[in-house]
Protein backbone atom coordinates (compact mmCIF):
# COMPACT_ATOMS: atom_id res chain seq x y z
CA UNK A 1 0.00 0.00 0.00
CA UNK A 2 1.38 3.37 -1.04
CA UNK A 3 1.89 5.84 1.80
CA UNK A 4 2.24 9.58 1.23
CA UNK A 5 4.19 11.53 3.83
CA UNK A 6 3.67 15.27 4.07
CA UNK A 7 6.06 17.29 6.20
CA UNK A 8 4.51 19.73 8.72
CA UNK A 9 6.11 22.68 6.88
CA UNK A 10 4.36 21.62 3.68
CA UNK A 11 1.03 21.36 5.51
CA UNK A 12 1.44 24.90 6.83
CA UNK A 13 2.25 26.19 3.34
CA UNK A 14 -0.77 24.42 1.82
CA UNK A 15 -3.07 25.75 4.55
CA UNK A 16 -1.92 29.33 3.93
CA UNK A 17 -2.25 28.87 0.17
CA UNK A 18 -5.82 27.57 0.49
CA UNK A 19 -6.71 30.49 2.79
CA UNK A 20 -5.35 33.01 0.29
CA UNK A 21 -7.27 31.40 -2.59
CA UNK A 22 -10.45 31.45 -0.48
CA UNK A 23 -10.07 35.13 0.41
CA UNK A 24 -9.37 36.15 -3.16
CA UNK A 25 -12.38 34.21 -4.42
CA UNK A 26 -14.93 35.02 -1.73
CA UNK A 27 -13.87 38.45 -0.39
CA UNK A 28 -16.62 40.96 -1.23
CA UNK A 29 -15.77 42.67 -4.50
CA UNK A 30 -16.58 46.13 -3.12
CA UNK A 31 -13.86 45.92 -0.46
CA UNK A 32 -10.89 48.07 -1.40
CA UNK A 33 -7.41 46.79 -0.70
CA UNK A 34 -6.60 50.22 0.71
CA UNK A 35 -9.89 50.78 2.56
CA UNK A 36 -11.55 54.13 3.23
CA UNK A 37 -10.17 57.04 5.18
CA UNK A 38 -11.90 58.45 8.25
CA UNK A 39 -13.24 61.99 8.51
CA UNK A 40 -13.74 63.43 11.96
CA UNK A 41 -16.37 66.13 11.39
CA UNK A 42 -17.19 68.53 14.20
CA UNK A 43 -19.78 71.32 14.24
CA UNK A 44 -20.25 74.33 16.46
CA UNK A 45 -23.83 75.55 16.64
CA UNK A 46 -26.00 78.16 18.35
CA UNK A 47 -27.60 75.49 20.54
CA UNK A 48 -28.56 71.85 20.85
CA UNK A 49 -31.82 71.63 18.90
CA UNK A 50 -31.51 71.33 15.13
CA UNK A 51 -35.26 71.72 14.47
CA UNK A 52 -38.23 73.56 15.92
CA UNK A 53 -41.95 73.03 15.33
CA UNK A 54 -43.92 76.10 14.24
CA UNK A 55 -47.69 76.27 14.00
CA UNK A 56 -48.83 77.83 10.70
CA UNK A 57 -52.52 76.96 10.89
CA UNK A 58 -55.16 75.71 13.26
CA UNK A 59 -54.03 72.10 12.81
CA UNK A 60 -50.95 72.58 10.68
CA UNK A 61 -47.36 72.53 11.86
CA UNK A 62 -44.05 72.85 10.04
CA UNK A 63 -40.49 72.03 10.99
CA UNK A 64 -37.90 74.79 10.65
CA UNK A 65 -34.15 74.93 11.39
CA UNK A 66 -33.68 76.05 14.98
CA UNK A 67 -30.14 76.39 16.34
CA UNK A 68 -27.97 76.98 13.29
CA UNK A 69 -24.48 75.80 12.40
CA UNK A 70 -21.83 78.49 12.88
CA UNK A 71 -18.64 76.52 12.24
CA UNK A 72 -17.43 73.29 10.62
CA UNK A 73 -14.13 71.59 11.21
CA UNK A 74 -12.80 68.29 9.93
CA UNK A 75 -9.66 66.17 9.84
CA UNK A 76 -9.10 63.21 7.52
CA UNK A 77 -7.10 60.30 8.93
CA UNK A 78 -5.68 57.09 7.54
CA UNK A 79 -6.83 54.20 9.79
CA UNK A 80 -3.75 52.18 8.81
CA UNK A 81 -1.09 54.75 9.70
CA UNK A 82 -3.35 56.36 12.35
CA UNK A 83 -2.21 59.81 11.26
CA UNK A 84 -3.93 62.83 9.74
CA UNK A 85 -3.23 62.77 6.01
CA UNK A 86 -1.42 65.56 4.18
CA UNK A 87 -3.82 68.43 3.52
CA UNK A 88 -6.43 66.70 5.66
CA UNK A 89 -7.61 69.66 7.77
CA UNK A 90 -10.70 71.74 7.03
CA UNK A 91 -12.22 74.71 8.85
CA UNK A 92 -14.88 77.20 7.83
CA UNK A 93 -17.08 79.75 9.58
CA UNK A 94 -20.79 79.81 8.74
CA UNK A 95 -22.84 83.01 8.93
CA UNK A 96 -26.15 82.31 10.71
CA UNK A 97 -29.33 84.14 9.78
CA UNK A 98 -30.61 87.00 11.90
CA UNK A 99 -33.43 84.80 13.12
CA UNK A 100 -30.93 82.13 14.09
CA UNK A 101 -28.99 84.43 16.39
CA UNK A 102 -32.14 85.40 18.28
CA UNK A 103 -32.65 81.72 19.13
CA UNK A 104 -29.12 81.22 20.47
CA UNK A 105 -28.82 79.10 23.62
CA UNK A 106 -27.02 81.03 26.41
CA UNK A 107 -25.41 77.85 27.75
CA UNK A 108 -23.90 77.08 24.35
CA UNK A 109 -22.50 80.60 24.17
CA UNK A 110 -20.49 79.86 27.33
CA UNK A 111 -18.75 77.07 25.42
CA UNK A 112 -18.25 78.65 22.00
CA UNK A 113 -17.90 82.36 22.99
CA UNK A 114 -19.47 83.03 19.60
CA UNK A 115 -20.65 86.60 20.23
CA UNK A 116 -17.32 87.78 21.65
CA UNK A 117 -15.39 86.08 18.85
CA UNK A 118 -17.74 87.57 16.27
CA UNK A 119 -17.19 91.06 17.69
CA UNK A 120 -13.46 90.40 17.45
CA UNK A 121 -13.82 89.78 13.73
CA UNK A 122 -13.54 85.98 13.53
CA UNK A 123 -16.71 85.75 11.43
CA UNK A 124 -15.78 88.59 9.07
CA UNK A 125 -15.23 86.11 6.22
CA UNK A 126 -17.98 83.68 7.18
CA UNK A 127 -19.93 82.13 4.31
CA UNK A 128 -23.52 80.99 3.87
CA UNK A 129 -24.60 77.50 4.87
CA UNK A 130 -24.89 76.55 1.20
CA UNK A 131 -21.37 77.75 0.43
CA UNK A 132 -20.04 76.00 3.52
CA UNK A 133 -21.57 72.70 2.43
CA UNK A 134 -20.17 73.11 -1.07
CA UNK A 135 -16.68 73.75 0.29
CA UNK A 136 -16.91 70.73 2.60
CA UNK A 137 -17.76 68.47 -0.34
CA UNK A 138 -15.02 70.06 -2.43
CA UNK A 139 -12.49 69.39 0.33
CA UNK A 140 -13.70 65.81 0.82
CA UNK A 141 -13.48 64.98 -2.89
CA UNK A 142 -9.66 65.02 -2.65
CA UNK A 143 -9.60 61.82 -0.60
CA UNK A 144 -12.10 59.55 -2.31
CA UNK A 145 -15.17 58.25 -0.50
CA UNK A 146 -14.86 58.85 3.25
CA UNK A 147 -16.36 57.48 6.45
CA UNK A 148 -17.81 60.16 8.72
CA UNK A 149 -17.70 60.20 12.48
CA UNK A 150 -16.85 62.24 15.55
CA UNK A 151 -17.12 62.33 19.32
CA UNK A 152 -20.86 62.10 20.11
CA UNK A 153 -21.52 62.20 16.38
CA UNK A 154 -25.26 61.80 16.88
CA UNK A 155 -25.33 65.52 17.76
CA UNK A 156 -23.37 66.64 14.68
CA UNK A 157 -25.31 64.37 12.35
CA UNK A 158 -28.68 65.72 13.52
CA UNK A 159 -27.56 69.15 12.27
CA UNK A 160 -25.98 67.82 9.07
CA UNK A 161 -29.27 66.14 8.08
CA UNK A 162 -31.06 69.48 8.38
CA UNK A 163 -28.25 71.28 6.52
CA UNK A 164 -28.45 68.76 3.69
CA UNK A 165 -32.20 69.29 3.41
CA UNK A 166 -31.90 73.09 3.47
CA UNK A 167 -29.21 72.99 0.77
CA UNK A 168 -31.05 70.45 -1.37
CA UNK A 169 -28.29 67.81 -1.26
CA UNK A 170 -29.79 64.46 -2.19
CA UNK A 171 -28.77 61.09 -0.80
CA UNK A 172 -27.29 60.18 -4.19
CA UNK A 173 -25.18 63.36 -4.26
CA UNK A 174 -24.03 62.89 -0.67
CA UNK A 175 -23.17 59.25 -1.34
CA UNK A 176 -20.56 60.24 -3.90
CA UNK A 177 -18.42 61.65 -1.09
CA UNK A 178 -19.33 59.69 2.05
CA UNK A 179 -20.06 56.07 2.90
CA UNK A 180 -23.46 55.47 4.48
CA UNK A 181 -21.79 53.81 7.49
CA UNK A 182 -20.60 56.14 10.26
CA UNK A 183 -18.79 55.86 13.59
CA UNK A 184 -18.93 57.51 17.01
CA UNK A 185 -15.87 57.68 19.27
CA UNK A 186 -17.98 58.08 22.41
CA UNK A 187 -19.70 54.76 21.70
CA UNK A 188 -16.30 53.24 20.95
CA UNK A 189 -15.02 54.51 24.31
CA UNK A 190 -17.94 52.95 26.17
CA UNK A 191 -17.35 49.64 24.42
CA UNK A 192 -13.63 49.68 25.20
CA UNK A 193 -13.57 51.19 28.72
CA UNK A 194 -16.78 50.32 30.51
CA UNK A 195 -16.41 47.27 32.75
CA UNK A 196 -19.47 44.97 32.68
CA UNK A 197 -21.15 44.82 36.06
CA UNK A 198 -19.92 48.28 37.06
CA UNK A 199 -22.19 51.37 37.32
CA UNK A 200 -22.58 53.21 34.01
CA UNK A 201 -22.27 57.01 33.89
CA UNK A 202 -22.40 58.60 30.40
CA UNK A 203 -20.39 61.58 31.69
CA UNK A 204 -17.37 59.31 32.13
CA UNK A 205 -17.10 59.21 28.33
CA UNK A 206 -17.58 62.94 27.73
CA UNK A 207 -14.90 65.08 26.09
CA UNK A 208 -16.74 68.26 27.00
CA UNK A 209 -16.34 67.49 30.69
CA UNK A 210 -12.72 66.37 30.09
CA UNK A 211 -13.30 63.07 31.90
CA UNK A 212 -12.60 60.92 28.86
CA UNK A 213 -9.48 62.94 28.01
CA UNK A 214 -8.20 62.40 31.54
CA UNK A 215 -8.87 58.66 31.33
CA UNK A 216 -7.06 58.36 28.01
CA UNK A 217 -4.23 60.72 28.91
CA UNK A 218 -4.80 63.18 26.06
CA UNK A 219 -4.95 67.00 26.24
CA UNK A 220 -8.39 68.48 26.99
CA UNK A 221 -10.18 70.37 24.24
CA UNK A 222 -9.26 74.08 24.46
CA UNK A 223 -11.81 76.73 25.46
CA UNK A 224 -13.48 78.34 23.64
CA UNK A 225 -14.40 75.25 21.68
CA UNK A 226 -13.85 75.44 17.93
CA UNK A 227 -14.92 72.96 15.29
CA UNK A 228 -11.39 72.12 14.16
CA UNK A 229 -10.17 71.60 17.71
CA UNK A 230 -13.18 69.36 18.32
CA UNK A 231 -12.36 67.27 15.27
CA UNK A 232 -8.72 66.95 16.32
CA UNK A 233 -9.71 65.90 19.84
CA UNK A 234 -12.06 63.24 18.46
CA UNK A 235 -9.21 61.96 16.30
CA UNK A 236 -6.93 61.71 19.37
CA UNK A 237 -9.66 59.82 21.26
CA UNK A 238 -10.01 57.39 18.35
CA UNK A 239 -6.25 56.93 18.07
CA UNK A 240 -5.83 56.22 21.80
CA UNK A 241 -8.77 53.79 21.82
CA UNK A 242 -7.24 52.01 18.83
CA UNK A 243 -3.95 51.65 20.70
CA UNK A 244 -5.76 50.21 23.73
CA UNK A 245 -7.65 47.77 21.52
CA UNK A 246 -4.43 46.70 19.82
CA UNK A 247 -2.84 45.91 23.21
CA UNK A 248 -5.93 44.03 24.34
CA UNK A 249 -5.97 41.87 21.23
CA UNK A 250 -2.21 41.22 21.18
Beta carbons of 186 and 152 less than 8 angstroms apart: yes
Identify the weakest region by mean pLDDT among 57-66, 176-185, 241-250.
57-66
Q: Once rounded to an integer, what is the mean pLDDT over residues 172-194?
A: 97
- Mean pLDDT of the 62-79 span: 95
Q: Is residue 27 part of a domain?
A: no
Range of the domain at 106: 34-249
Q: CA–CA separation, 45 vs 81, rounded Å?
A: 32
Mean pLDDT of 29-35: 51
Q: Is the pLDDT of residue 18 over 60?
A: no
Residue 165 lies inside a defined structural domain of this protein: yes
In a domain, residue 16? The reply is no
Q: How many domains does the chain have?
A: 1
Region 1-25: mean pLDDT is 47
In a domain? residue 124: yes
Work out the angle at residue 51's Cα, subtended by the Cα atoms of residues 119 and 100, and round it to the nearest 5 degrees.
20
Quick check: bond before 114 cis, omega within 30?
no
Give start and end residues of each alpha helix (H) in 113-152. Answer: 114-119, 129-140
Over 60: is that where the pLDDT of 113 sits?
Answer: yes
CA-closest candidate to residue 82, choices 247, 250, 237: 237
DSSP 143: G
pLDDT band at 34 (very low <50, low <70, confident <90, very high): low
**pLDDT by residue (tens digit) across 197-223?**
999 999 999 998 889 999 999 999 998
Q: Is residue 82 part of a domain?
A: yes
Q: Is 10 domain-assigned?
A: no
- What percent of the chain lies above the pLDDT cut of 90? 76
DSSP type of residue 222? P
> For residue 25, what pLDDT band results from cuts at 50, 70 and 90?
very low
CATH of the domain at 116: 3.30.420.10
Per-residue pLDDT, 64: 85
Is residue 196 domain-resident? yes
Residue 62 lies in a domain: yes
Give me the pLDDT at residue 9, please. 53
Helix (H) or strand (E) holding 26: helix 8-26
Mean pLDDT (the chain) is 88
Amino acid sequence: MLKICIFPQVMVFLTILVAIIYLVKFLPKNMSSEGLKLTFLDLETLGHLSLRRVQIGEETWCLYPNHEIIEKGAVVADPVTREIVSGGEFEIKISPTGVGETLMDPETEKITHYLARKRAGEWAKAVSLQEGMRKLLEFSAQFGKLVLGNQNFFFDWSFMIVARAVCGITEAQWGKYFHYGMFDTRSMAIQELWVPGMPFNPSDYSVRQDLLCQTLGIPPEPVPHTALNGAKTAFMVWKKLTELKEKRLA
